[in-house]
Chain A
Amino acid sequence: MILAQSIITLAYYALTAGAAALLLYNFVRAKTWDREVLYLIVLVPFLLRLLRVK
């Protein structure tokens, strides 16, 4: 169980990094300020988790 938990945790961090990269990409491609703000707000908790702060 602990091995499975470790694998899932690693996969989760990889997914988090992937989602963060997608959000950043969308932020760069966005044309309007409200979409840009939206992507940044959503991005912050992903970065905090990647940094293992929250």
Chain B
Amino acid sequence: MSTTARIRKSLLGVLAVIFLVVSGKSFYDHRHLREPVVLGPGVTSVKTLGDYHASLRGTVNDINLYVLEGKEPGGTVLVFGGTHAEEPAGRLAAWLIVEHATLERGRLIVALSANRSASTVTRPGAAYPPDYTISTSWGGQTFRMGDRWSNPLDQWPDPEVYIHYPSGQYLAYVDIRNLNRAFPGRPDGTLTERTTFAFMELIRREKVDVAIDLHEAELQYPVINTIVTHQKGQEFATMVSMTLTDLEGFKIGTEFSPVNLHGLSHREIGDHSQAVSLLFEAPEPFLDATRGRTNADVLLRGKDEFVMRAGKHGLLFAPIDENGWPIALRVGRHTSSVAQTLETWSEDHPDRAVVARGIPRYADLVKHDVGYYLRDPGQASAGRVVYE
């Protein structure tokens, strides 16, 4: 090999190492971004999902569970965001509940990153931003942007066809890593199945009365701006949606969970536990296939000219105008829906009431935006900050 070739190869090798380090650092930083959570006055303890299924301990999905317990006994409600980590309104709504809610009666258990593994990767080829920042008076808080499926680094390979357990239903191969296709899970299954199994164990052992799964959907998807409910909660969910539509200033419908569609939380939690299972859907134009540039601005402002054009042609299942669907509206829909669910449940079941105060509602979020309600970890008392 000539001297020229040696020098050229050495220079190219150095360039490749620089490229490797820069790109690797970006991926590493995304996967390991620590998101501070300031424990609000209502948080009485923090458990982890591994407490309900030991095989999860120490894994990426040994997630935090925030317990808010009232002084008076009552029922138990589970709220979980981050089932699909590319749907930030669900995580942020749960975040605000943990940082602000206090319980007078009963107990609230909240998960912010139901599938934490999915929050450590973005969709290959979709040009998602690795993170997004919510502006606050103290600077801003950065959150991981995630994907719909568990990270392939944590669970791989996918089968040709995903056969759901225990129904035996055939589902798309990639959905073996979809938390909302893996309920009720199994103790010796994949990471995603063990995660849903742990959630089921939590629901059974803690005698959860109502389980609420927070989501967002593209506007081209028909299940949107709605509460999806197991048949056990049909009247209850309908009452919640009617009350919200009457009192909160936004429309929300009710849909019934299809009996033969398996793996989803609204079906399997209701089938395999005593709990009433609900799933809330808010609109997220960022997810629409017809969107244009894919960045954090579209994610947070919920505004995209191509999605708006699709709306003008009547191709969407939810309205959209030049104001888009800002994150404050989407988070507010979820927080109000959770608060109203607690209120309606407590009216219907006084012996299992869950009475909460301090949850910011839709009108509060519209007025102040999300950042107003994120607490500054720098001002928190010692021991009152944990990380997601």
Contact = CB atoms under 8 A, between A and B. Distances in A.
A2 B156 CA distance: 10
Contacts of A43: 16
A31 B1 CA distance: 9
Given A48-B20, A54-B27, A12 B9 contact: no
Contact of B20 (A5, A36, A47, A52): A47
B12 A33 contact: yes
A40 B27 contact: no
Interface in A29-48: 31, 33, 36-37, 40-41, 43-44, 47-48
B156 A40 contact: no
Nearest to B20: A44
Contacts of A51: 24
B173 to A, nearest CB: 13
Interface in A1-54: 1-2, 5, 8-9, 12, 27-28, 31, 33, 36-37, 40-41, 43-44, 47-48, 51-54
A52 B188 contact: no
Contacts of A36: 8-9, 12
B189 interface: yes
A2 to B, nearest CB: 7
Contact of B19 (A9, A33, A44, A52): A44
Which interface class (under 10, 10 to 19, 20 to 34, 35 or more) fits B?
20 to 34
A48 B27 contact: yes
B188 A48 contact: no
B153 interface: yes
Contacts of B27: 48, 53-54
B190 A2 contact: yes
A12 B156 CA distance: 10
Given A9-B156, A28-B9, A36-B9, A2 B16 contact: no
A5 B156 contact: yes
B23 A48 contact: yes
Contacts of B9: 27-28, 36
A33 B156 CA distance: 36
Given A27-B9, A51-B24, A5 B16 contact: no
A48 B281 CA distance: 36
Interface in B219-270: none
B189 A2 contact: yes
Contacts of B23: 44, 48, 54
B13 interface: yes
A43 B20 CA distance: 9
A2 B5 CA distance: 48
Contacts of B31: 53
B12 A40 contact: yes
Interface in B148-175: 153, 156-157
B24 A53 contact: yes
A51 to B, nearest CB: 7
A34 B384 CA distance: 56
Contacts of B138: none
A44 B28 contact: no
Contacts of A40: 12-13, 15-16, 19
A44 B190 contact: no
Interface in B1-55: 5, 8-9, 12-13, 15-16, 19-20, 23-24, 27-28, 31
Contacts of B13: 27, 40
**Which are the 3 A-B pairs with shortest beta-carbon distances?**
A40-B16, A54-B27, A53-B24
Interface of A: 1-2, 5, 8-9, 12, 27-28, 31, 33, 36-37, 40-41, 43-44, 47-48, 51-54
Given A12-B157, A44-B16, 10 more contacts: A2-B189, A27-B9, A36-B8, A40-B13, A40-B16, A41-B16, A44-B20, A44-B23, A53-B24, A53-B31
